[in-house]
A and B are shown apart, each in its own frame.
Chain A
Amino acid sequence: AQSVTQPDIHITVSEGASLELRCNYSYGATPYLFWYVQSPGQGLQLLLKYFSGDTLVQGIKGFEAEFKRSQSSFNLRKPSVHWSDAAEYFCAVGARNFGNEKLTFGTGTRLTIIP
């Protein structure tokens, strides 16, 4: 069965600083990988996704993520964070089983931005 580990429960960064959120996955085949963001009281919004091809994926809001098969990782990065980036970030792996597709989420990383 697939699983996702987000080792950092809470990260605090200064506005304008760079950001990297870690994600490690476990899946027996080529994974579908996703990053979602959840603002307080809101649903989940897709930031970016990886299916195949270029291992560096660009997303919305200036985010990018790099798929590293050898490390089973899909870390999310942003060169300069803004106060509005404060939110909960979830990494997810998608599994396809007999035509059914489902997402398995990590436990999330809460991002706090300080002025």
Chain B
Amino acid sequence: EAGVAQSPRYKIIEKRQSVAFWCNPISGHATLYWYQQILGQGPKLLIQFQNNGVVDDSQLPKDRFSAERLKGVDSTLKIQPAKLEDSAVYLCASSSQGFEGNTIYFGEGSWLTVV
């Protein structure tokens, strides 16, 4: 079974530039998550999709971050304009039906450095 795919793996941009990350979840997984992991901290949920609808984006900085999941499959997370404090690993994860009997699978992450 193929895992959660993310690209690009590494990105360096200057502040005020824009960047986009792509995620392809495990086939058939209805739920997709984007987490932000700042160095030395645990992952923090940015946004959660159920199919192509948003179910939780309470911690997404909407003035600069946006995310979409077209057709309930792939997802894109965009940052525009980037700030220095956005330097982090952006983890995409997916799951099929929820906690019981299921697992949330994580991708390897997209590492962003803003200079």
Contacts and interface: CB of A to CB of B under 8 A. Distances in A.
Interface of A: 4, 32, 36, 41-46, 49, 51, 90, 92, 94, 96, 100-108
Q: What's the dominant secondary structure at chain A's contact region?
A: strand
B106 A90 contact: no
Interface residues of B, number: 25
A100 B106 contact: no
Contacts of B112: none
Contacts of A94: 99
B41 A32 contact: no
A108 B42 CA distance: 6
B4 interface: yes
Which of B48, B98, B99, B103 counts the most A-chain CB atoms under 10 A from its CB? B99
Given A44-B106, A100-B48, A106 B42 contact: yes
A42 B42 contact: no
A103 B46 CA distance: 11
Contact of A107 (B4, B40, B48, B93): B40
A107 B42 contact: yes
B55 interface: yes
B44 A105 contact: yes
